Amino acid sequence: MKSLRIITVILLPVVALFLGFGLGSSYQTHQLAIERGKIQDLFTQTGSGKVIDGDPEQTVDISLLWSVWRLLQKHYLMPDALTADTLVFGAVGGLVDAVGDPYTVFMTPKDTKSFQDSLSGTLEGIGAQLDLVEGEVTVVAPLKGSPAERAGLEPKDIITDVNGTNVSGMELDEVVKMIRGPKGTTVTLLFIRPPSQEKTEVTLTRENIHVPSVESKTIGTGADTIAVVTLNQFGDSSMQELRSALDAVAAQEVKGLVLDLRYNGGGYLEGAVDLVSFFVKSGTVVTVDRRADASEVHKVHGDPLLPDIPLAVLINQGSASASEIVAGALQDTKRATIIGQQSFGKGTVQEVLDLPGGSMLRVTVARWLTPAGHDLGKKGVTPDIVIDRTPEQFRQDQDPQLDAAKVWLLEQRVMEGATAGSGVITR
């Protein structure tokens, strides 16, 4: 693979000469001014502001990069810090950051390992999924049983300070590095909770965070039994675990199913397609709207596991990405009733590309459209039945959203019995 390169502009500060610096300092400043002039000439030659088509290695003059590299080698106070990996990773990271998309990220080998660990369900930290929303580090979802959940962090909370350092304007990966750390150590966060803008400071002890992909249980509603299957993430093995849970549901005498996607921040697109395919016989799951009208339509596999069971899906403001694809598809196809709160609204597609040396590039390549053409990135999914759940209800283990799902499923059971009694079965 051809080496990645970047055009970087470094403005060398004009050093004011104070009395006593001597002729040596004056000479060095003169030399820096000459070198800065050369850099300006190189920058002018690159044709700044021009969109480059074709192979940039053939059309872009990156002499500026090498000139700055040499200047650092010659003048920087601590030359031992100028390792090749540090400079190359910094240059590539700067190139990707210049795109201006918070979801398009260059990951060093260390970042790549953290990313892969998070998808496998194992990491060390506070257990919260974060996103960059309008330049602010925002909580998407606290993971169940995590230090973040116990400390009271909620979706949409805005983190402003980490260990006393203001993180406004910082890239998301920088903030994540500050928050993560070895288990047993602490981190102090200052966050704002809209709409009150009240500031709260909490100190959390980092832990080994293991996120179970799937949890399931059955609950009674009078004479009937309902299954509740919770999917916490779309990770490496999540769909295999979910299939096992749904196989168990299919083997029981349950009258309805609650699929809980609350606080599920998403994951693999393929997992979302697989999940919808468990319940829907035919049709579209999602349209991946790429550049230059190169759209991809993802359809169900055509062999559903539970095509007829009454289905309610729970979402909240922590349901994002692949969770929104599932909820949007099941809502548009009228296969399920969506209950809870407005979802997060993360509607773009990222592909992860392997780079030499263990690095990765996560790059935005498309946006998601539901079967009815709704852009998930604009406002997410609006529930059919809107039910709030306050922090106080959460702390007291009260769940009005799950209660509403049980009531709805019970109503479906009553309606099914009535239509069966009349000799006509409809759904």
Please write the tens of the pLDDT for every residue from 95-139: 998 998 878 889 999 888 877 766 665 567 898 888 777 788 999
The answer to whether the predicted template modeling score (pTM) of the entire model surpasses 0.75 is no
How confident is the model at residue 6, as a pLDDT? 32
How confident is the model at residue 12, as a pLDDT? 27
Dihedral sign, Cα of residue 24, residue 25, residue 31, residue 34: negative
Q: Which of 215, 213, 175, 208 is nearest to 191 (CA)?
A: 175
How confident is the model at residue 49, as a pLDDT? 61
- Rounded CA-CA distance 176/22 in Å is 46
CA angle 110, 112, 117 (to 5 degrees): 100
How confident is the model at residue 95, as a pLDDT? 94
- Residues 6 or more apart in contact with residue 47 via CB below 8 angstroms: none
Q: Which residues partner with 202 through β-bridges?
A: 189
How confident is the model at residue 211, as a pLDDT? 72
List the catalytic residues: 321, 332, 346
CB 276, CB 260: distance < 8 Å: no
Backbone dihedral region for residue 228 (phi beyond 0: left; psi -120 to 50: alpha; all else: beta): beta
Q: What is the mean pLDDT of each run of 10 residues along the chain (427 residues)?
A: 32 28 37 51 54 81 93 94 93 91 86 72 79 83 86 91 92 84 94 89 91 87 84 88 94 92 89 96 94 86 94 93 96 97 87 91 92 91 94 82 94 59 32
Q: Which residues partner with 288 through β-bridges?
A: 296, 368
How confident is the model at residue 327, as a pLDDT? 98
CB 343, CB 319: distance < 8 Å: yes
Q: Tell me whether residue 422 is exposed, middle or buried, using C-beta atoms within 10 angstroms of its C-beta: 0 to 12, 13 to 18, 19 or more.
A: exposed
Peptide bond into 212 cis (omega under 30): no
- Rounded CA-CA distance 33/355 in Å is 38
- If DSSP states are collapsed to H, E and C, what string results for the chain? CCCCCCCCCCCCCCCCCCCCCHHHHHHHHHHHHHHHHHHHHHHHHCCCCCCCCCCHHHHCCCHHHHHHHHHHHHHCCCHHHCCHHHHHHHHHHHHHHCCCCCCCEEECHHHHHHHHHHHHCEEEECCEEEEEECCEEEEEEECCCCHHHHCCCCCCCEEEEECCEECCCCCHHHHHHHHCCCCCCEEEEEEEECCCCEEEEEEEECEEEECCCEEEEEEEECCEEEEEEEECCECCCHHHHHHHHHHHHHCCCCCEEEEECCCCCCECHHHHHHHHHCCCCCCEEEEEEEHHHCCEEEECCCCCCCCCCCEEEEECCCCCCHHHHHHHHHHHCCCCEEEECCCCCCCEEEEEEECHHHCEEEEEEEEEECCCCCEHHHHCCCCCEECCCCHHHHHCCCCHHHHHHHHHHHHHHHHHHHHHHCCCCCC
Q: Which of 106, 178, 109, 97 is nearest to 137 (CA)?
A: 178
How confident is the model at residue 213, as a pLDDT? 86
